[in-house]
Structure 1
Amino acid sequence: MSKDYRSFFGLSGPAFNKQIPAEAIYRYPHLEELHYYLAAAVADGAVAVVTGPVGAGKSTALRAFLTNLDPLRYVVIYVGYTSSDRALFREVAHGLGLSPSYLKGDLLNQLHGAIEHAWLGKQRSTLLVVDDAHLLADSLLTELRQMLNFQMDSATPLGLLLVGQPTLAARLKESQHEALSQRTLIRYTLAGLSRSETSEYGRAHMLAVDGDPDVFTAEAVDLAFQQAKGIPREIGNLCVYALIRAAWQEVRSVDRKVMGEVIQAQKGP
């Protein structure tokens, strides 16, 4: 029986892992552009909205950006999907190191006080990052917009970053969210990889686990790119499956034949 694919290819860990170290992430042009715009929004304490299809790499791009923020200047609070405003605000409170108040009004006052204290006392801005924001109820989006209101003329102690699927951008165009839309400085759609970027993406992930960056032939990359339409997660899934299949067949290179077999297997009978 063939070896485990990681042993067969001499990898130090699982290939194309979403927990790839931030410094090893392939920084393709769209990713660098996104980070540039996000840096501007964060510096101004503004609202930024990042959208993209499932698997486009939004969370990975976000992690790479947040890793580089100066912790002496920014308090970063990351919140995933939640169905209630109280649950969301409690998560924010925990992120600020607070024991959340029970009543919603008291809780909001508590959050505002802590955010203002971080700004006035330590010159640290707070950045609230809400992932899967396309799932938030309309009332929650309104609550988030209201949370941005501070009684401070020149300061912007709280920035907001909303990340989600394309439906988020469409929802923010609705009249009920006009106030939030007007406060949004950056709107960015994360696109898929190009053919050449797909090749470099694969190389970066293989190098991250001490593998051969040239294990995928050009023809195999062509097939993966065409099948996945440039979506990083789909490309990664195809490449891992191809590595597993190649290890089973005891071949040291993933060529057009191996990748083609993987694609056909995924399509099913």
Structure 2
Amino acid sequence: MFESFYGLSKTPFSRDIPTDQLYQSLMLDETLGRLEYAARRQLFAVVTGDCGTGKTTTIRLFKASLNPAMFMVMYLADSKLTPRHFYKGLLEQLGCEAKFYRGDAKRKLPHLDRSQVGEYINRHLAYAGAEHDIFSDNAVDQVFRYSSGAVRLVNKVCTHCLLYGAQNGRRIIDDHMVKLVIQGELL
């Protein structure tokens, strides 16, 4: 619905953005580097982080960079797993006897900072075909305040703002609109 209003050819804040079109922050690059290091040395790696910080997206991007003939990526997502059950689940995916093993690498993904939130929004809008800025700088400030840099919340508030803006004939999303959306739809 809002895509045509803003002249977008794709949906900007969805989970199906191709990996080569994803916003890559410095922290993401560092995490990918650590994962590559672990993979090349056949180490076990665990990526952790708060809900909505981009763990699944990071793994998706990392998996796309690997040669599937050389590497097997296993994915197990359950925030309530104990370490023993976590490793048991992975070993079972390998067809191995489940024993308790200790991991060799661990990396927790932080939230994006304010400038990264702006870059993230612009990258996703550019992927979707935006030819001009849609969110004002003050709107990005409000998105950051609401989300604290958690990408899932950035996606949620931006999508709601685009819907609201399209329904109200607003080509530019400003801070007042973001506040209205947050107060009226997200709190």
Query: Does the TM-score normalized on the shorter chain lie above 0.5?
Result: yes
Counterpart contact for 1:145–1:180, Cα < 8 Å: no
Deviation per residue, 1:193-233 (Å, 9 max, x gap): 00000000001111111124521100000000011111001
| Of 156, 167, 180, the match for 2:101 | 180
Instruction: Return the alpha-carbon distance in structure 2 between the equivalents of residues 145 and 70 of structure 1.
Output: 20
Does the alignment pair 1:221 with 2:140?
yes
- The match for 2:9 is 12
| Of 167, 180, 184, the match for 1:261 | 180
Percent of aligned pairs sharing the same letter: 28
| Higher strand proportion | 1
Instruction: Return the alpha-carbon distance in structure 1 between the equivalents of residues 75 and 186 of structure 2.
Output: 34
TM-score normalised by L of structure 1: 0.63
- The match for 1:199 is 118
- The match for 1:42 is 39
Instruction: Return the alpha-carbon distance in structure 2 between the equivalents of residues 56 and 142 of structure 1.
Output: 22
Runs of at least 4 residues off by over 3 Å: 133-147
Instruction: Return the alpha-carbon distance in structure 1 between the equivalents of residues 42 and 155 of structure 2.
Output: 35
- The match for 1:230 is 149
TM-score normalised by L of structure 2: 0.88
1:245–1:180 Cα change, 3 Å: same
Instruction: Return the alpha-carbon distance in structure 2 between the equivalents of residues 264 and 18 of structure 1.
Output: 25
- The match for 2:127 is 208
Provide the secondary structure at the position in 2 that maps to 1:189.
strand
1:143–1:243 Cα change, 3 Å: closer
- The match for 2:50 is 53
| Of 88, 91, 94, the match for 1:143 | 88
Aligned runs of 1:113-152 on 2, under 5 Å?
A: 127=73, 129-136=74-81, 140-141=85-86, 143=88
1:134–1:9 Cα change, 3 Å: same
Instruction: Return the alpha-carbon distance in structure 1 between the equivalents of residues 135 and 184 of structure 2.
Output: 18
- RMSD between aligned alpha carbons? 2.3
Aligned runs of 1:157-176 on 2, under 5 Å?
A: none
| Of 69, 73, 93, the match for 2:66 | 69
